[in-house]
Amino acid sequence: MNKAVYNNHLSLTPIIHDWVKQLLANPESLQQAVERFQSPLNIHCLTPFQENIIAYSNVFNELHVKHKVFFARKANKCIAFPQAAAQQGQGADTASYRELKQCLDSGIHPDNLVLTGAVKNENLLSLAVDHQVTIVLDNYDEWNLLKKICTEKQKKVTVNIRLGGFQFEGKTLATRFGFSLDEAVTFIQHLQNNKDLVEFTGLHFHLNGYSVEQRVAAIEQSVQLIDCLQALNIPTFSLDIGGGILMNYLENASEWEEFNKELKRAILGERPEITYQNDPLGIIKIENQLYGEPTVYPYYNTLNKEQLLKAILTSKSAVFQQPIYKLLNDRNIELRMEPGRSLLDQCGVTVAKVAFRRKDTNGNWLFGLEMNRTQLRSSSADFLLDPIHVPKEIKEENEATYGYLVGAYCLEQEFILKRKIAFKQFPQVGDLIVIPNTAGYMMHFFESEAHMFELANNVIYDNGNFVMDNTSD
Ligand SMILES: Cc1ncc(COP(=O)(O)O)c(C=O)c1O
């Protein structure tokens, strides 16, 4: 491939924070870090995390909304993030015994923690009760277990109630979580009869997807429930709207549109493939007709993070004929949220070493990395942004090439990225590949130790220094 062709390839240019630019400007120090901590290495930075918290807080402050942001720790396991959130007066949402225990052990005050885990066994609930961490109850069995624990321990704990099954455009939003609004009234009244064991303080929901309108509807219906409870003399102090606030990975709308258009053309055989073996990334082809869209995260979007929060809060409630933030302020409700991915925007990169180059039977170049695909995996069918090649040696020759990144597991499907990648310079053994913006879900959510490979190390980058995060303590 010559340079002109390289310049024409379908790029998906990632947005890069200044700390990553600083990292890339010093390839020797990056090489040394990978030698020291092994490949792949997850490098994190707290600066963008702090900026992201401030951006959300600014929106709340501007609208005078009482608030608290709980970082959803499931999106990244490093303890440095919950600690940073707590230091900024916010908190962390925990989903398992180890997530909660580690936060407590690291000195985070229980008021800055909430337990939302999808499965809460006796150990986990007992830990929350012992430390007075607010528990979000999702079902009756959980409540029965909590009741038993509180009775045995003669201790009382604060609970919030998870809601589900909101109405939107004439239909129920399907979910496997929470109590319906009707069930919730009965259940919360029942909790009032157990005031020696639990104190009800708030409502909670987390919606699938990223819709502003659905969140507005869910808040509106939660406020109706709050009013109904108030009429029964049951006060509500907080409403937690969970996570699912979009973030934007890409610089350019036109690149994103072009990629999506060309993917469809490739699947229809109208152009050469742009994914390995023409992987349709979730689009279905039947008799030369395409159905559906790629099952990938919307990597480019204009309404995201704090603007998306502002759009929710300033939307006018059709039921109350008032903006959402006013409904909350009038009732003195603390709005809580649990962003995971969006708080981690720009907070981490994954770096891996090139181990081999070879061709497959079809003549495609494969670049083998010292990592496996579980170390860059989310529910999205592919991570659609360009990786950054950091060669050990810059070469002037015109040796741009296309190829695919493959990993260490023994499967034919072991591709780090399914998308065909263009390299300005032919990768050499020992070169580094930096995958930007991986802190949210990409690096930890599905990582596994198959073949007995060790999990990747996690370091925090601070002014040129790399310090281990004591995640595995
Ligand atoms: C209860 C709860 N809160 C918060 C989150 C975080 O969501 P996100 O990372 O999309 O912001 C999740 C994610 O599944 C969740 O289940």
**CATH code (residue 398):** 2.40.37.10
CATH of the domain at 128: 3.20.20.10
Four-point Cα dihedral 11, 14, 20, 23, nearest 10 = -10
What pLDDT score was predicted for residue 269?
Answer: 96
Answer yes or no: do 21 and 128 share one domain. no
Answer yes or no: do 218 and 83 share one domain. yes
Answer yes or no: do 28 and 72 share one domain. no
What pLDDT score was predicted for residue 8?
Answer: 65
CB under 8 Å to 473, separation ≥6 — which residues? 79, 102, 105
Answer yes or no: do 84 and 197 share one domain. yes
What pLDDT score was predicted for residue 1?
Answer: 64
Note whether residue 472 is domain-resident: no
Residue 97 amino acid letter: Y
Q: How far is the CA of 143 from the centre of ligand 1 (A)?
A: 22
Given 281, 313, 344, the domain boundary residue is 344
Q: Say how far apart CA 131 and CA 112 lie, in whole Å.
A: 12
Answer yes or no: do 71 and 155 share one domain. yes
Contact 264, 290 (CB under 8 A): yes
Answer yes or no: do 76 and 117 share one domain. yes
Answer yes or no: do 89 and 218 share one domain. yes
CB under 8 Å to 63, separation ≥6 — which residues? 310, 313, 314, 325, 329
Tokens of 226: 């709050």
Instruction: State residue 117 phi and psi, 5-degree precision.
Output: -35, 145
Contact 300, 258 (CB under 8 A): no
Q: How far is the CA of 23 from the centre of ligand 1 (A)?
A: 30
Which of 53, 68, 74, 342 is the best mutation target for the ligand 1 pocket, counting ligand atoms within 8 Å of the beta carbon and taking the most?
Answer: 74
Q: Say how far apart CA 399 and CA 200 lie, in whole Å.
A: 65
What pLDDT score was predicted for residue 394?
Answer: 86
Range of the domain at 447: 3-45+347-467
What pLDDT score was predicted for residue 266?
Answer: 97
Note whether residue 473 is domain-resident: no
Instruction: State residue 466 phi and psi, 5-degree precision.
Output: -115, 120
Note whether residue 69 is domain-resident: yes
Contact 161, 136 (CB under 8 A): yes
First to last CA, the chain: 48
Given 277, 310, 344, the domain boundary residue is 344
Tokens of 392: 């050990």
| Alpha carbon 48 to its chain's center | 15
Answer yes or no: do 211 and 260 share one domain. no
Answer yes or no: do 222 and 360 share one domain. no
Answer yes or no: do 257 and 379 share one domain. no
Given 311, 344, 377, the domain boundary residue is 344
Which of 53, 338, 342, 445 is the best mutation target for the ligand 1 pocket, counting ligand atoms within 8 Å of the beta carbon and taking the most?
Answer: 338
Atom of ligand 1 nearest to the CA of 340: 9
Note whether residue 296 is domain-resident: no
Q: How far is the CA of 178 from the centre of ligand 1 (A)?
A: 14
Ligand 1 pocket (Cβ < 6 Å) reads 72, 75, 93, 116, 206, 242-245, 338-342
Q: How far is the CA of 206 from the centre of ligand 1 (A)?
A: 7
Contact 167, 221 (CB under 8 A): yes
Q: Say how far apart CA 23 and CA 437 lie, in whole Å.
A: 13
Q: How far is the CA of 293 from the centre of ligand 1 (A)?
A: 23
Residue nearest to atom 3 of ligand 1 (CA): 242
Q: How far is the CA of 341 from the centre of ligand 1 (A)?
A: 8
Answer yes or no: do 228 and 269 share one domain. no
CB under 8 Å to 133, separation ≥6 — which residues? 94, 100, 104, 110, 113, 114, 115, 127, 157
* DSSP for residue 275: B
Residues of the chain with pLDDT under 50: 473
Give the number of domains in the chain.
Answer: 3
Answer yes or no: do 145 and 286 share one domain. no
Tokens of 287: 């008799």
Note whether residue 123 is domain-resident: yes
Note whether residue 278 is domain-resident: yes
| pLDDT tens digits, one per residue of 317-330 | 999 999 999 999 99
Q: How far is the CA of 232 from the centre of ligand 1 (A)?
A: 31
